[in-house]
Structure 1
Amino acid sequence: MHDILFRALVGFRQNYWFWPTTMTLAAVILGFLLPWLDDRIGTDWIRSVPFLRATQVDGARAILTTLAGATLGVAGVAFSVTIVAVSFASSNYGPRLIGNFMGDKTNQVVLGVFVATFVYCMTVLSTVHARLELAQSTQEAFVPQISVLFAFALTLAAVGALIGYIHHIPESINIMNVTAHLGDKLRRSVASMLDDEDRRQREEEGPADVEPWTAAPPGRDATILRAETAGFLQQVDLDRLASLARERGVQITIHHAPGAFVVQGEIVLSAQPPRDGDDALLRRLRDCATLGSNRTDVQDLLFLSDQLVEVLGRALSPGINDPNTAMLCLNWLAAGLTAFARREPARPARRDDPVLYRRVTFEEMLDRSFDQMRQYVASDRTVTLHALDVLRGLAASACRPAMAEACIRQMRRLAASAAERLDETVAKDEIAEALAAALRDAADRAR
């Protein structure tokens, strides 16, 4: 059940049709409810409003038909513009950023307003009828005045949504906004992970290093949860695993961090020593881990940093050659890494903890990001100097010598790569001077 709920939540976040479908269903309900209310109230109230006139049958039909056709046409245009924006973002920024555009609630709500207006007008139109002479009775003409006025209100809302949509689309593909969104999400995710880690810490101790921890192979008699299909480990419920471990008197080991790709049959979780009712324990372990075909940003911090690196790599490709965008990506990557560097880590995992797992460290995120981008950054003199300045600032913010040492290591690697790739002697001298100045500042933090 937990796995199904998580998949549904991730799907709703990136499903372009969720809000339009919800608003369309609401429009259908209103399309039947308001005419029923009109029938109950009657039309006498409209005479007391001086600026309103009762609409006749032909007029109501013409109004509703016109509004329905116009809003449906604009909805098609809005959908087409969104697809163009998604295609542009995919080709220029990277295909892994499509989910950010598809999950944009503004686009979903705007399309929902247009589709809901069309459906509402068509539903109300079905209730409008002229005077009918039947065999044994006469059915009086019916025009739902309140419903027609509400159709006008929905149309005005659609016009306002169109104006906002025209403004929003250029803003959503503005590279400054794209990188700012990714960088701010990375910073908040780092802070959230560290806050959760502090909350889960069971003992009040002084700051301690979070050392990389590798899970040992489980024993033969351990309860083992294996991947039923290949995919990415999207989410692990650490709180439920800790409660389960204490309840059953076992120690649970998480063999992969969120974001790791596992093949079918590979070990995901294990619990030992064994207890009676291993099948029940296995079912509960399965509810605490979610595998899927895509990486998500729920617990996978490296997915967010990888997106910034991907945008940077495309910006420095020969076909685009946009160093300003690359420097923007470095700035927002530094925002997330600085939030990481300034926080004192919690105590490391111990062999007697109820749940053993390894989370992402500052050094791992730094090395992964700069190792992937080095070949692109080193080919541009301006971006290389900016990257050295970013590493210099990260070293100054480091709360532990190991973090500053990681920054120094990346400075040296970047400068060496730039010396090999750049042909201009002046540029090489500038980078050498910047490296020397950065190393002098970072050396004090590494001691």
Structure 2
Amino acid sequence: MKARLLRLSDQLRESYWFVPTIMAVGAMLLALAMIYIDSHFGSEWMDGLLWLYAARPDGARSLLSSIGGSMIGVAGTTFSVTIAAVVYASGQYGPRLLSNFMSDRGNQVTLGTFIATFVYSMIVLRTIRSPGESGVDTLAFVPQLAVLVAMILVLCSIAVLIFFIHHVPMRIHINSVIEQVGERLIVEIDNRFPVFVGEPREEAHDDPGIPPAFRLDAPVEAYARRTVVRSKDTGYIQLIDEDRLIQTAAKHDLVVRLQYQSGDFAHHGSVLAEAWPAEQLDEDVVKALRGAFALGSRRTALQDLRFLIDELVEIAARALSPGVNDPFTANSCLDWLGAALSDLARRDLPSRLRADEDDALRVIAHPISFAGFVDQAFGALAQYASADMIAGKRFLDAIGDVALSCDDPNRIATLRLQVEAFKELAGGSLAGANLLAVQDRADQLLLALAEPDYQRRLRDSPAWLGGTA
């Protein structure tokens, strides 16, 4: 249930109807409150203010009708401009970035402001009465305070319109798009590591806590004690309820091995997880374990760091395509990827073995490795950056920045492999002076990474520090 609620919350955040609906309902309540105050306390208080005067029924109707008509027209224009900007941005930068623009709070509040002003004006307009309108003895009624609030809402709408005109071009600027994705990636890294599903355990090569049924050399009789949890839906795994898995496994004394991670695609009948021992499970337990997985039609950034990395890689790859040929946009993506992986390099990644509060093994998850993230970012982008000298040099600079944050020899070895592979790719894609420039930068980086004091060498090298493309 928690996984589905979190997915629903994310869907509401990306919808164009939720915030405007809330603001429209608020406008209705505000209109009713102002009408109530006017009907019970009157408008005599306005006579003491020189800069205010009471409106007549015909004038109030004309004013509110103009406000309502103009607001719904501006709301339609705002929506059209927003859709046009979204279509342009998704076509230029990638369709997976569509959700980033849909979730923009500024656009939602702008649309909601105009709709709320329209709704408010229509409700107040309905209460205005002229003398004798509904009968001979009917008195005139003009909610003066409500009309004054309508004027204030118009001024607020004008201010919001000015903000919107400034906000849209700024929002679709490529640097702003990259910054938003990069900042969210860094925030998610900070939120997720080192804390992950359950409490991490120290993992040995042959951890005795792992049940025999989950070992590679599991005997047939041990394998038979596993029970599979199959998916009843088809789509991308958007979220895994970590707490529910741990609590369910602890309650029924189970060990659960996950077959998928957030961002993977699963179809109807896919094995989401395996649980041991089989005799501890019944249909209710299987249903509870299945309920920890929330599937949808697309990947999201709720728990999927790889999705955010892929967004930056996609923008960079499009920028380096022959039809666009914009290496400086790719450089911006590489800068943010380097910043994110530098932050990740300073963190301890959790073991794939997750324990409960009593230090009992409960979940065996997919291994999370620094090498996997490096390959997801630099490995996927290497084939594109290796064909451009400007992007190629920045690619190596980004790896060098990550190396400055590494203290683990295994992680440095991973970076060395990426540099060597990139140098080989560049040899097949570049020629002449461009190839020499990239190979020289790669050789400098490899030479520094081969030394124990590689961080000092990178910081002190004038050629390295002064050679940023």
Which AA in structure 1 matches 2:165? I
1:436 to 439, 443, 450: 443
Match of 1:416 in 2: 424
Give runs of aligned pairs for residues 65-214 of structure 1, distance below 5 A: 65-132=65-132, 138-197=137-196, 200-201=198-199
Shift of 1:200: 4.0
Match of 1:249 in 2: 253
- Give the secondary-structure state (helix, strand or coil) at the position aligned to 1:139: coil
1 CA distance for matches of 2:434 and 2:11? 48
1 CA distance for matches of 2:434 and 2:187? 36
1:351-394: CA deviation from partner (whole Å, max 9, x where unpaired): 96211102532211111222322221111111101111111221
2 CA distance for matches of 1:249 and 1:114? 56
1 CA distance for matches of 2:354 and 2:100? 38
1:369 to 362, 367, 377: 377
1 CA distance for matches of 2:238 and 2:354? 24
1:267 to 263, 268, 271: 271
Shift of 1:267: 0.6
1 CA distance for matches of 2:437 and 2:396? 11
Which AA in structure 1 matches 2:71? T
- Give the secondary-structure state (helix, strand or coil) at the position aligned to 2:247: helix
Matched, 1:384 2:395: no
Match of 2:293 in 1: 289
- Seen in structure 2, the aligned counterparts of structure 1 residues 252 and 134 have a Cα distance that, compared at 3 Å, is closer
Which AA in structure 1 matches 2:177? V
Which AA in structure 1 matches 2:17? W
Match of 1:52 in 2: 52
2 CA distance for matches of 1:322 and 1:387? 14
- Give the secondary-structure state (helix, strand or coil) at the position aligned to 1:55: coil
2 CA distance for matches of 1:391 and 1:208? 30
1 CA distance for matches of 2:200 and 2:73? 59
Shift of 1:175: 1.0
- Seen in structure 2, the aligned counterparts of structure 1 residues 175 and 142 have a Cα distance that, compared at 3 Å, is same
**In 2, are the aligned partners of 1:396 and 1:441 still within 8 Å (CA)?**
no
- Give the secondary-structure state (helix, strand or coil) at the position aligned to 1:408: helix
Which AA in structure 1 matches 2:426? A
1:302-328: CA deviation from partner (whole Å, max 9, x where unpaired): 000000000001111122111110000
- Seen in structure 2, the aligned counterparts of structure 1 residues 265 and 348 have a Cα distance that, compared at 3 Å, is closer
Give runs of aligned pairs for residues 24-43 of structure 1, distance below 5 A: 24-43=24-43
2 CA distance for matches of 1:347 and 1:232? 24
Which AA in structure 1 matches 2:22? T
Q: Could you tell me the TM-score, scaled by structure 1's length?
A: 0.93
**In 2, are the aligned partners of 1:401 and 1:445 still within 8 Å (CA)?**
no
Moved more, 84-93 or 390-399: 390-399
- Give the secondary-structure state (helix, strand or coil) at the position aligned to 1:327: helix
- Seen in structure 2, the aligned counterparts of structure 1 residues 16 and 183 have a Cα distance that, compared at 3 Å, is same
1:178-217: CA deviation from partner (whole Å, max 9, x where unpaired): 11111111111112111423x94366x7x999x9x9x769
1:426 to 409, 433, 443: 433
1:207-239: CA deviation from partner (whole Å, max 9, x where unpaired): 999x9x9x7699444342211122111111222
Shift of 1:31: 2.4
Percent identical among aligned pairs is 35
Which AA in structure 2 matches 1:19? V
- The runs of 5 or more residues in structure 1 that have no matched partner are none
- The runs of 5 or more residues in structure 2 that have no matched partner are 217-221, 455-469
- Seen in structure 2, the aligned counterparts of structure 1 residues 34 and 75 have a Cα distance that, compared at 3 Å, is same
- Seen in structure 2, the aligned counterparts of structure 1 residues 350 and 74 have a Cα distance that, compared at 3 Å, is closer
- Seen in structure 2, the aligned counterparts of structure 1 residues 26 and 359 have a Cα distance that, compared at 3 Å, is farther
**In 2, are the aligned partners of 1:19 and 1:112 still within 8 Å (CA)?**
yes
1 CA distance for matches of 2:350 and 2:10? 29
Shift of 1:257: 1.0
1 CA distance for matches of 2:404 and 2:108? 43
- Give the secondary-structure state (helix, strand or coil) at the position aligned to 2:256: strand
Match of 2:463 in 1: none
- Give the secondary-structure state (helix, strand or coil) at the position aligned to 2:193: helix
Runs of 4+ in 1 over 4 A off after TM superposition: 215-218
1:270-317: CA deviation from partner (whole Å, max 9, x where unpaired): 221134561121121122111111111011000000000000011111
- Give the secondary-structure state (helix, strand or coil) at the position aligned to 1:291: strand
Which AA in structure 1 matches 2:157? A
Match of 2:458 in 1: none
2 CA distance for matches of 1:70 and 1:61? 14
- Seen in structure 2, the aligned counterparts of structure 1 residues 318 and 102 have a Cα distance that, compared at 3 Å, is same
Moved more, 336-345 or 306-315: 336-345
- Seen in structure 2, the aligned counterparts of structure 1 residues 168 and 285 have a Cα distance that, compared at 3 Å, is same
**In 2, are the aligned partners of 1:208 and 1:346 still within 8 Å (CA)?**
no
1:335-354: CA deviation from partner (whole Å, max 9, x where unpaired): 11111111133445279621
Tell me how large the CA RMSD over aligned residues is: 2.5
Match of 2:464 in 1: none
